[in-house]
Amino acid sequence: MVMSRFDGLASGFILGVAIAFVFAVVFRFIPAEWFVNMLSRAMLPLRLILSLMLVAVLAYTGVVVSSHGLDLFSVFFVDMARMGWAGQFNLDFMCMLLLSGLWVGWRHEFSGGGIALGLLAVFGGALFLSAYLLVESVRARGDSRTLLLGAARASRIA
């Protein structure tokens, strides 16, 4: 059965709404000051870009999953084995994902949770990293040193 573009967009929208609902549930347990901090001027442009990235990748992923299923890895590695431009891009992208995962793990000092978050960064890509950076930018209260280094390292440097 072939799905129309509208069905794919509708699936992406539903996936986006579901994830927004999860964030709403999570943010219910976050103090109200976090919402004020979310709109602070220091990181507002970054947060807007991260929000747009999250929504765009969620919608696009919904369309692709509804049209092609979840068979990502075979396509990804087959393209790399063909030694063409698609494979070169995939290898480059995989290296960026690994760097992202290493940074997230390092930021959390390679604790158990940090390793788990690092693995999520590797396999979750921009979906994970944009949501992660949104949350961490709020937790950092606009302090870029804390955002980049993590709270523990930033406090040792300060």
CA dihedral 6, 12, 13, 16 (to 10 degrees): 180
pLDDT (tens digit per residue) in 114-145: 999 999 999 999 999 999 999 898 888 878 88
Rounded CA separation 146/130 (Å): 17
SS3 of residue 39 by DSSP: coil
Q: Could you tell me how many residues make up the chain?
A: 158
This prediction has a pTM of 0.73
Ordered by start, the domain boundaries in the chain are 5-157
Rounded CA separation 41/60 (Å): 29
The tokens of 12 are what?
């992406």
pLDDT (tens digit per residue) in 8-64: 555 665 666 566 655 655 555 555 555 555 556 678 888 889 889 999 999 898 888
